Structures are given as structure tokens and as C-alpha cells.
Chain A
Amino acid sequence: MNGTLIAIQVFDGLVKGSFYALLSLGLAVIFGMLRVVNFAHGAFYMLGAFGAWLLAQQWQVPFWAAIVLAPLGVGLLGMALERTLIRRLSHLDPLYNFLLTFGVALAVQDAMRLKYGIQGKPYMPPEQLRGVTDIGPAFYPTYRIFAIVFALAVCLLVWYLIERTRLGMIVRAATERPDLTRALGVNVDRWVTPVFGFGVALAALGGVIAAPVYQVTPVMGADIIIILFAVVVIGGLGSIAGAVVAGLLVGLIAAAGQIIEIGGFDLGRYENALIFVAMAIVLLARPAGLFGHAEAG
């Protein structure tokens, strides 16, 4: 085991982790405002990646435009979903919306499979970011470094937006005490749809950034959503920092699986299983999650 290999694995872990962070951040934002765990989050991530790929295929839209257009379009789609379906169930047990979004995810994923097939579609990184960069012990693809930095910058921006701006204050207030916020003259309901759209757009943004790293396939969303659930159980849905830190942590755990070899037994093939072992340990030691508060009831 040498330093080069370790460095590459750690960076690969960070790449994965920053996608997990970006996506669980969106899940947390949506959960905070609507109390809905959005099962379709992975599907929106996949649609974001497909959006970028389709824009490039059909109209030769460059990456830098797709990174804006695809999340915008998918975000609008999310807002339509909230308006037409999710809203109807908002007065019921949140499990119903979990089931509803499961149905949506299944239908969307299968429809995309029927239309575009299961084959992965390659998507080239923008010209400025091709090639490799010297990271000391190794050379690493420049685009992947950009993906880490960009995703984390977006996370920081969202954190600022929610924790430090007036808009964020309203959203936080509506999350904590919707009735009291209403009594103070804030139209809480007006913010539900935009917040859902925003969370979905974050997922789509993750998809666009992921497109050049992984291949674009209809099942990419299903693969990531269940890992996201593990991230959410580890970090708790309560805080933004929790979502981001847990996301990165899970990425690094997967990377550790690649590095560690026990008696010739290669853990790398079981890296995803390792994530769920971590989840089990958190459930044992801190059932409410690393950053969560104990749930009532």
C-alpha cells in the first residue's frame, strides 16, 4: 500500500462524499420545510445528469450553461410535483408522501430506461477542466477536484443562505414553529413550493456535476438514494452541517473500504456494505444520529 494509491482513494472518497453532501443537503432542506422525505431525490439527481447530457446532445449546450439550465428545469418540475401531488397529502402522516415519491421515483426511472436504455452515456467535462493536476503524491483528474470544490462551495452558500439571511430566517422559523410564524404575519404556505423546488434543484445540480465523473444512466438515482438514507440516518435530518459532514464521512468510509485489505480479503467490493455497517454502529451508539436531537415519541 503506497501513498499514491491512498491519496487517490481519499480524493475519490471526497468526490463521492461531496455528492452525498450536496444531495443530503437538499433532502434536509425539503424535510425541514415539508416534513417529507423525498424518495424521488435520486430520480431528480438522475434527471439533472440526463438534462445536461440531453442539452449537449440536442443543442450542443456547453457544461457551463447546463449547470444552470438543468437544475432550473428540474427544479420547476419539482415545484410542479409539489403543487399537483405532494400538497394533497401534506395533512396526512408523512409516510404517505414518502410512498408517493417512491412511486414517482419508480415511474420516472423506468420511463427513462425505456426511452434511453440502460447503457451508460459518457459526458465530457468542459475543456478547461480536462487533464490532471498534481496533488503531491499523485496526479488527479482536474475535473474531480473542481467537483469537490464546487459542491462544497454550494453547500457553504446554502448554509449562509439559511443561517444568515432574512429569507433563511423565515424558512427556519416556518420549520420550527409554523403556526407561530403564521401568527407573525409570514405567509408560510407561499414558501413551501419554492423550498421544495430549491431542494430538488440542488439534487439536479449534483447530477450535472456527477455526469462527467460517472456515466449517465437511468439507475444512477436509485443507487444513490438508498446510500443517502444511510447518510441521513448517520447525520440526522435536523441540521445543514450534519448533512454535509455525514455526506463527506460516508464518502470517506467507502474510500477506506478500497484501501483496507484484511488478510488478502479485499473489502473494496463491499464498500457500499461498509456504509451500512457504519449506519448500524451509529444506530447503536447514537440512535438520533451524530448531529440529531433525540426524537420525541
Chain B
Amino acid sequence: MRVQLRHRLGYLTALLVALALPQVIYPGLALDIVVWGLFAVSLDLLLGFGGLLSFGHAAFWGSAGYAAGLAAKHLGVPFPVAVLAGVTVAVLLALPIGYLSIRRQAIYFAMVTLAFAQMLFYVTNEWRGLTGGENGLQAIPRTFPGLTLPSGSAAFYYAALPLALLGYWLAWRAVHSPFGHVLVAIRDNEARAQALGYPTRRYKVLGFVLSAALAGLAGSLFALGHGFAALELLHWTTSGLVVMMVILGGVGTLWGSVIGAAVVLLLRDWLSTSTLTLAGVSLKDAWGVVTGVIFVLIVLSFRRGVWGTLLQLRLPRGGSRPAPRAGQTTAGGPSAADGG
């Protein structure tokens, strides 16, 4: 089929871009785009397909970052094992947090997840003996069986890329599996999904844990890649930033989130070196103001996001199906409820 060919070409292009990225921009930024992209995809999995806005996803990104860092630093394990440790911790945290959070809906869900993330922030800040408190974890080694990866080079990028791609593939697989379809059905009409015999709560917790695992994978790679884990990983602005990336890319489009992440990170990188001033303030110090204003603008007038807008533009010519959107009930009921 033509559509399938086009999809394959799309994935091939994305892979080539991913491989060439550290040659075009500096490797640190390239790694940031790949891992923040995965972080954003993990959130979109939950928001776009499960209809659950987690405003505390920094909890999993950050706790995994710390766990991976601690494993690499104190146990000296090779970096893939450290990543595994990070993902494990994220999953272990996501089980109770997800179980408790899904007891509330919509806006309350957002508040509860944010509150739990903040709790982790406080605990991490106070548990200085383990986490280093405000100093964070410094000088995390990145050992590979047999060799040490030099910092600041593209080597770690290429070492981390397969793991990140595995994460992307898992997200794609989840969305296109029967599980993903049930998740969408629950988003659109939970009562109906329940009536069809799906244990909706269990699906939601599972979706939450899967999303947290991917966020944890991304967070581990981020911390190991930069060689440090700081409190900022767990801060509420981190949770907000990743939500912004997802909306900017297009909620429920999965790959749009990567574009959202890339746009935000490139903008931040550009601002950090720019000499622009506004009202006597150098813009490179005003990242919070810039983020806040972009957030407001996107929510006001760009709710479809980049990917969603592109799909919309292409739609009149026929072909692609419309992207699902959060908080919007699609007519016709659950699309994949026939499995039950």
C-alpha cells in the first residue's frame, strides 16, 4: 500500500536524521533532543491515548535519573545496567502513584500527579546523604564493558541511541496494540469500555506504568549523558516543560512530541547564546518568562500543535486519518472495542 510505503520512508528518514544529528548540532544538544523527545512521547502516550494529563511526569524522569546515576557511581555498573536500574525505580514509583492518581479524574488527576512529584522533589532535596541535596549527583561515570565513554563527544550519543530507539519502538508498539486501542476506548468512553468487560482501572494503571517506564528510560539516559543528576530533574517546571512539548508537537500524534521537544530545545539553546534584550533584560536569563509566554500562546491558539496542524492541512486531499485529541470524544464510540 502507498500509505505503508510512505510510513516506511518516514521512519527511514527519521532514523537517518537521528544518526546524522550529532554531526549537525553539538552532541549534547542532539542527545537532549532524543531523550526529551522520548520523555515527551511517554507523556503523549498517557495524555493523547489515555486521556490522562500527568502534570508530575518529572517524578519518573528525575527519580530514574538519580537511580541510574547512583547505580553507575556507587556500584560502578556499565551504563545499560544503570539505565535498567533507573527504569526499575521509575516503575516501582509509578505503581503506587498511578494506582492512587487514577482514583481521580481529569483536572484532579493533574493536581494529584503534580503533588506526588513535588513530594519526591522534597524528599530528594532533604535526603542529602543519598542524593547530595541541592548539589545533586556530580561526576557520574559512564562505563561500558571494557571502556569508558569520553564525555562531551558523540560517543555516548551513539551508545544511548539504540536504547532510546527501543523506547520509541515500545511506545509505537503500545499504541498500535490491542492494549493501546483499549486505552483509547477508555479515554473516549470509560463507562462503555467497562460495560464491554475491560477492567478499565487496571488498563489505566498499566498505561501509567508503561508511560513512567519510558520517562524513566529517557531520564536515565539524560542523567548519564550529562554526567550529573540535579534537583531540576524533579522540579515542577520540568513536568510543565514536557507538557508544553507535547502540546506544541500535537497531542495524540506520538511523533509530534519529538518535534515539540526539538523546537523547544533548539529555541532554548539559541536563546542561551543570544544577545537579545527586552526591556533591559537579557533574554538568555528570561527562559522562564519565555516558556510561560509560549505556553500561553500555544494553549490560546495552537492547540493542535505542529503535527496536528500538518495533518489537518493534508486532510482535505484525503488519505490520513485524523489524529485523536485529548479531551475530545470521537463520535462512533470505541474504535477497537470489538476485541471483547
Write the residues of chain A forming the contact surface with B, with a CB cutoff of 8 angstroms: 37, 85, 88-89, 92-96, 98-100, 102-111, 113-114, 222, 226, 229-230, 232-233, 269-270, 272-273, 275-277, 279-280, 283-284, 287, 295, 297
Please give the distance in Å from A64's CB to the nearest CB on chain B: 33
- Pairwise interchain contact B106-A105, C-beta atoms closer than 8 A: no
Which residues of chain B in 228-242 are interfacial with respect to chain A, using CB atoms and an 8 Å cutoff?
236-237, 240
Within 8 A of A (CB), among B12-47: none
B: which residues have CB within 8 A of A? 53, 96, 100-101, 103-108, 110-112, 114-116, 118-119, 122-123, 126, 190-191, 236-237, 240, 243, 247, 281, 285-289, 291-296, 299-300, 303, 326-328
* Cross-interface CB contact of A273 among B101, B111, B119, B190, cutoff 8 Å: B119
The docked-state distance in angstroms from the alpha carbon of A101 to that of B157 is 36
Give CA–CA (A114, B287) in the complex, Å.
10
Q: With contacts A95-B106, A114-B285 known, is A233 near B299, CB below 8 A? A: no
Cross-chain contact B289 with A98 (CB below 8 angstroms): no
Choice from A37, A99, A114 contacting B243 with Cβ under 8 Å: A99
Tell me if B103 and A107 are in contact (CB < 8 A): no
Whether B116 pairs with A94 at a CB distance below 8 angstroms is no
Q: Beyond A226-B115, A270-B126, is A99–B100 a contact (Cβ under 8 Å)?
A: no
Contact of A106 among B101, B240, B281 (CB under 8 A): B240
How near does chain B come to A275, taking the closest CB pair, in angstroms?
8
State which of A85, A103, A229, A295 has its C-beta within 8 Å of the C-beta of B114.
A229
Contacts beyond the supplied A110-B291, A270-B123: 5 A-B pairs with Cβ under 8 Å: A89-B300, A114-B286, A233-B112, A295-B108, A297-B105
Q: Provide the residues of chain B in CB contact with A229, threshold 8 Å.
A: 111-112, 114-115
**CB-based contact B281/A226 at 8 Å:** no
Count of A-B contacts judged by CB separation below 8 Å? 131
A-B complex: 10 closest residue pairs judged by Cβ atoms: A107-B292, A110-B288, A103-B295, A106-B292, A93-B327, A276-B119, A229-B111, A103-B296, A287-B103, A226-B118
Q: How far is the CA of A284 from the CA of B112 in the complex (A)?
A: 12
Distance of A232 Cα from B111 Cα, bound (Å): 9
Most buried by B among A103, A108, A111, A275: A103
Q: Are A99 and B292 neighbours in the complex by a CB distance under 8 Å?
A: no
Question: Are B112 and A100 interface neighbours, CB within 8 A?
Answer: no
**A214 to B: closest C-beta gap in Å:** 17
> Is the pair A107, B106 in contact by a Cβ cutoff of 8 Å?
no
Q: Which of A89, A109, A270 contacts B122 (CB 8 A)?
A: A270
Which of A99, A280, A295 is close to B295, meaning CB atoms less than 8 Å apart? A99
| Chain A residues whose C-beta falls within 8 Å of the C-beta of B108 in the assembled complex | 233, 295
Q: Which of A85, A110, A279 has the most CB of B within 10 A?
A: A110
* 21 A-B contacts (beta carbon < 8 Å): A88-B300, A92-B327, A93-B326, A93-B327, A94-B107, A95-B107, A95-B326, A99-B247, A103-B292, A103-B294, A103-B299, A114-B285, A229-B111, A229-B112, A233-B111, A269-B126, A270-B122, A270-B126, A273-B119, A273-B122, A280-B96
What residues of B have a CB within 8 angstroms of the CB of A284 in the complex? 100, 103
B295 touches A106 (CB 8 A): yes
Known contacts A106-B292, A113-B288: does B112 contact A96 (CB below 8 Å)? no
Closest beta carbon of chain A to B11's beta carbon, Å: 31
Q: How close is A66's CB to chain B, nearest CB, in angstroms? A: 26
Contacting pair B119 A100 (CB below 8 A) = no
A85 touches B53 (CB 8 A): no
- B100's partner among A95, A109, A269, A283 (CB-CB below 8 A) is A283
- B243 surroundings in chain A (CB, below 8 A): 99
Q: Which A residues touch B281, using CB under 8 A?
A: 114
A residues in contact with B292, CB < 8 Å: 103-108, 110
Whether A110 pairs with B286 at a CB distance below 8 angstroms is yes
Chain B residue with Cβ nearest A93: B327
Q: Would you call A233 and B104 a contact (CB within 8 A)?
A: yes
Contact, CB under 8 Å: B122 / A96? no
- Chain A: minimal CB distance from B49 (Å): 16
B118 touches A109 (CB 8 A): no
Q: Across the interface, which residues of A come within 8 angstroms of B115, CB to CB?
A: 226, 229-230, 233, 276, 279
Q: Which of B96, B104, B107, B114 has the most CB of A within 10 A?
A: B107
Given A102-B240, A110-B292, check contact A94 B106 (CB 8 Å).
Answer: yes
